[in-house]
Structure 1
Amino acid sequence: MSFEKSVFINCPFDDEYKGMLRPILFLIIDMGFEPRIALESFNSGEARIEKIISIIQECKFALHDLSRIKSTKVGEFYRMNMPFELGLDIGCQRFKGDKWSTKKCLILEAERYRYQAALSDLSNSDIAVHNNDPADAVREIRNWLCTQIQIKVPGSTRIFGRFTDFITDHFNELESQGHSKKDIENYPVAPLMDDIKKWTLSNPWHL
């Protein structure tokens, strides 16, 4: 996929975030973009930071979800991977020049203004709030991408409905192949993206 249609996803990878990540992946693919994420491939011999830098350079668009940077337990540290990768993305846009100067990013949070306690330099930035609700995340990202390249796609409610249809079909297909419920819950990102692409091609939307 081209630089112009690639979207870097910078987000948590914990189990609790799966319910947010899957509809985001579906949305991006259903809109005709290519999601790029560190989990798209696994190579023990490749340093993760090098993979992330490479992906950032290959994407015009980026989503940075900072909703999980705050520690939630006593003795737990702030999760700084997401802000760090946001900084890499902004640095690429500001300093690399050429086509990279056209890079765009959307910052996501669960609550408005909460991020300012840790990242005050972003105090004047536009932040999309998803309230830890996948449907809200789909709405915010869909609307943002539409404004960036002026495309016409179905509304977020319809796209989220298509996502739930996909999840049902996907679950039934995997179950018929002998996957357990636990297998399906832990289905890897790379084949999931492939399956989303196949489903959206077989079930195109019409305005």
Structure 2
Amino acid sequence: MIFCVIRAELTPRLASERLEAGESRLEKILQLIEDCRYSIHDLSRAVAKKKGEALRMNMPFELGLDMGRRRAPDPETNDKLFLIFEDKPYELKRCLSDLNGVDVEFHRCNFQLVIKKLRNFLRVEAGCNLPGASALEGEYYTFQAWMTEKKIYEGHTEVEATELPTQERLDEMQAWMQLGRPSEFVAP
């Protein structure tokens, strides 16, 4: 998702973009909700995987906060646009019936579907000029290879190169874009 947003020349914002522990996560999220015109909410992880496991409610809670902000009597928030994901079609309607009448996209935990549906949302709702979904997927693979080689050159292992902090990954995506989306890393 982050790659698609960067490729659309937008700036993704996530609570995990900062690692400072003294800042309330909820305050970070509320500030992001206020600052952003577009929101992507993936509720597919808001399920218990095993018997006895607690249901994860963070994502539905954040969507509720975001929808409340959109409905606030503030003209600056009335044009906020959402993309909501679920795993399987109509899965959310069983446990979150308040979303009846809301178009929710499913992705079946398949990143190709995420790319396709996010690309379409960004193209239609944000007016972003993006290539087709298959081309975006290819660019993502190209970026991953470029970044891995760059990080190995900088002294990371291949595993470390895939486990970077969110902000560092964002920085690398933006660097790759600024370099013209090169097909391979060339050491300086």
2:42 counterpart letter in structure 1: D
Pairing partner for 1:107 from 84, 91, 95: 84
In the other structure, the counterpart of 2:186 is none
In the other structure, the counterpart of 2:149 is 172
Q: TM-score with structure 2 length normalisation?
A: 0.92
1:42 counterpart letter in structure 2: L
1:61 aligns with 2:1: no
In the other structure, the counterpart of 2:179 is 202
Of structures 1 and 2, the larger Rg is shown by 2
In the other structure, the counterpart of 2:125 is 148
Pairing partner for 1:89 from 53, 66, 88: 66
Structure 1 vs Structure 2: percent identity of aligned residues? 32
In the other structure, the counterpart of 1:189 is 166
User: Is the CA contact (8 Å cut-off) linking 2:4 and 2:119 kept in structure 1?
Assistant: yes
In the other structure, the counterpart of 1:5 is none
- CA offsets 1:155-182 (integer angstroms, 9 cap, x no match): 1111111110000011111112221233
- CA offsets 1:128-154 (integer angstroms, 9 cap, x no match): 111111111011011011111334321
Moved more, 93-102 or 179-188: 179-188
User: Is the CA contact (8 Å cut-off) linking 2:148 and 2:162 kept in structure 1?
Assistant: no
- CA offsets 1:9-62 (integer angstroms, 9 cap, x no match): xxxxxxxxxxxxxxx111101111110001101111111000100011000000
Q: TM-score with structure 1 length normalisation?
A: 0.84
SS at match of 2:77: helix
2:57 counterpart letter in structure 1: M
In structure 1, the gaps of 5 or more residues are 1-23
In the other structure, the counterpart of 1:32 is 9
1:154 counterpart letter in structure 2: P
Length, aligned pairs only:
182
Displacement of 1:197 in angstroms is 0.3
Displacement of 1:124 in angstroms is 1.5
Two-structure CA RMSD over aligned residues (Å): 1.4
Q: Distance in 1 between matches of 2:128 and 2:58?
A: 32
1:96/1:197 CA distance change after superposition, 3 Å? farther
Displacement of 1:108 in angstroms is 0.4
In the other structure, the counterpart of 2:26 is 49
Displacement of 1:204 in angstroms is 5.0
1:74/1:43 CA distance change after superposition, 3 Å? same
1:66 counterpart letter in structure 2: L
User: Is the CA contact (8 Å cut-off) linking 2:87 and 2:107 kept in structure 1?
Assistant: yes
Q: Distance in 2 between matches of 1:159 and 1:142?
A: 8
Q: Distance in 2 between matches of 1:157 and 1:96?
A: 41
Q: Distance in 2 between matches of 1:192 and 1:96?
A: 36
User: Is the CA contact (8 Å cut-off) linking 2:147 and 2:161 kept in structure 1?
Assistant: no
1:118 aligns with 2:91: no
